[in-house]
Amino acid sequence: MENIDSSPTEPPAKSSWLRVLAIGANPRTTVVRALISAVILVVLFRFVMLPVRVSGISMQPTYRNGTINFVNRAAFWFREPRRSDVVGYAITGQSAMLFKRVIALPGETIQIRDGVVFINERELDEPYLKYRAAWNTKPIAVGTNEYFLIGDNRGMSQGDHDFGRGLREHVVGKALW
């Protein structure tokens, strides 16, 4: 027995362009895409690219106070920090970090004489420096699991600038730009 629908057939409802723009041609696909995108963004910005706002003047003029940047954790998954890398250095966690430049590597000896940095008694070329006050330190041996970190604003008072040896496990990642 055939079942014949005798009601008049209506043309299929056409999606309005506004509806397509808002939720896509297929809402189910749109929801799946949105969920996948949300998961990717959460993972990316929580575990790989950590957003930071630079506070303070110790990295001027490279990074000004209030600049937004990202700490790229993936940068050091396959290689160790290199000289002149700008890195995020965790304090007791990753909610607040120092933003500093690596200038001496594990096993090296660093000394600052009249504002000029010497690594193993050889002068370090620092093209990123704009200000240089007459800072002085005694020779400092960097340990095997340490890096020597310092800011780019060497025109400020030495006593007001946080710099020195930091442990490798506190180096979170590299500044994205």
91: contact with another protein by CB under 8 A: yes
Shortest distance in whole angstroms from residue 13 CB to another protein: 32
Using the minimum distance from each CB to another protein, give the nearer residue, 70 or 148: 148
Shortest distance in whole angstroms from residue 53 CB to another protein: 9
166: contact with another protein by CB under 8 A: yes
Interface size with another protein, residues (CB under 8 A): 26
DSSP 154: B
Torsion of CA 71, 74, 80, 86, to 10 degrees: -20
Using the minimum distance from each CB to another protein, give the nearer residue, 29 or 84: 84
Question: Looking up tokens 């690596």, which residue turns up?
Answer: 102
Residue type, 145: N
Q: Which of the ranges 17-25, 44-52, 116-124, 134-142 carries the binding residues for another protein, by CB under 8 A?
A: 134-142
Q: Are strands 171-175 and 86-90 parallel, antiparallel or unpaired?
A: antiparallel
89: contact with another protein by CB under 8 A: yes
Residue 132 near residue 153 (C-beta atoms within 8 A): no
133: contact with another protein by CB under 8 A: no
Determine the Cα–Cα distance for residues 157 and 114; give it in Å rounded to an integer: 13
The distance from CA 145 to its chain's CA centroid, rounded to whole angstroms, is 21
CA angle 132, 133, 139 (to 5 degrees): 95
Torsion of CA 74, 77, 78, 79, to 10 degrees: 90
Q: Which of the ranges 2-10, 43-51, 74-82, 96-104 carries the binding residues for another protein, by CB under 8 A?
A: 96-104
115 in the Ramachandran plot: left (φ > 0), alpha (ψ -120 to 50) or beta?
Answer: left
Active site residues: 58, 100
135: contact with another protein by CB under 8 A: no
Q: Which residue in the set 30, 62, 67, 94 belongs to the binding site for another protein (CB under 8 A)?
A: 94
Q: Which residue in the set 8, 11, 12, 66 belongs to the binding site for another protein (CB under 8 A)?
A: 66
Residues of this chain that bind another protein (CB under 8 A): 55-56, 65-66, 89-96, 98, 100, 137-138, 140, 149, 157, 159-160, 162-166
